[in-house]
Amino acid sequence: MSFVSESQPGVCLTPDAVTQDYVFNHTMLRVKDPERSLDFYTRVLGMRLLRKVDFPEAKFSLLFLAMTKGGEVPDETSARMSHTFSRESVLELTHNWGTESDDSQYHNGNKDPRGFGHICFSVPDIEAACVRFEALGVPFVKRLDKGMKHVAFIADPDAYWIEIVQADLLGNLGQ
């Protein structure tokens, strides 16, 4: 059992034991058009839609996606919902009804005012993945041949940035 934590100002090396059952479950992004976003995240990135939940009175829907890798996911709705909130690395997309046909646009966080930057997918072969994204017509924010080596950025249908990396090429990143 390896207790890994680099010592840096602010780091607590002995967190309360109760925290060790906490799970970093999901990241939420608002999307304009769920059909376009579902196409992108399922067809281009291979995610599965675990659950769509509608709130008709407040006029919004939530879409929960994850890479399931063929793992067991309960078929029964309530159990699947509990599973969705128990696991790691879920992407929650919020659709406020009507945005798909108005002229609103969401903010990707990378121009002022900045904040959120990107989500990241790690791939086994970044050259092959980028060739595939090009063939699928996915827009690039940064191609492999520009700037930082071994790192690409693509954009989703709302222009949110998605970093693409290959883990075994990043062992010497930075200092």
Residue 163 assigned ligand-binding role: yes
Q: What residues from 50 to 109 belong to the interface with a second copy (CB under 8 A)?
A: 50-56, 61-63, 66-75, 77-86, 88-89, 91-92, 94, 106-109
Minimal distance in Å, beta carbon 19 to a second copy?
2
Q: What is the rounded CA–CA span in Å between residue 122 and residue 93?
A: 20
The CA distance from 139 to 154, in Å, is 6
Is 140 a binding residue for a second copy by CB under 8 A? The answer is no
Alpha carbon distance 63, 19 (integer Å): 27
Consult the annotation and say whether 134 binds a ligand: no
Between 11 and 101, whose beta carbon lies closer to a second copy?
A: 11
Q: Is 134 in the site for a second copy (CB under 8 A)?
A: no
- Residue 30 · residue 96 · CB < 8 Å: yes
35 counts as catalytic: no
* Contact between 163 and a second copy per CB under 8 A: yes
Q: Give the residue, chosen from 59, 98, 114, 139, that forms a contact with a second copy under the rule CB under 8 A.
A: 114
Q: Which of 59, 103, 117, 143 binds a second copy (CB under 8 A)?
A: 117
Cα dihedral 162, 165, 130, 51 sign: negative
126 CB-side CA count, 13 A: 20
- Contact flag: residue 137 with a second copy (CB under 8 A): no
> Which amino acid makes up residue 53?
V
Residue 94: enclosing H or E segment and its boundaries? strand 90-96
- By the rule CB under 8 A, 129 interacts with a second copy: yes
Q: List the catalytic residues.
A: 163
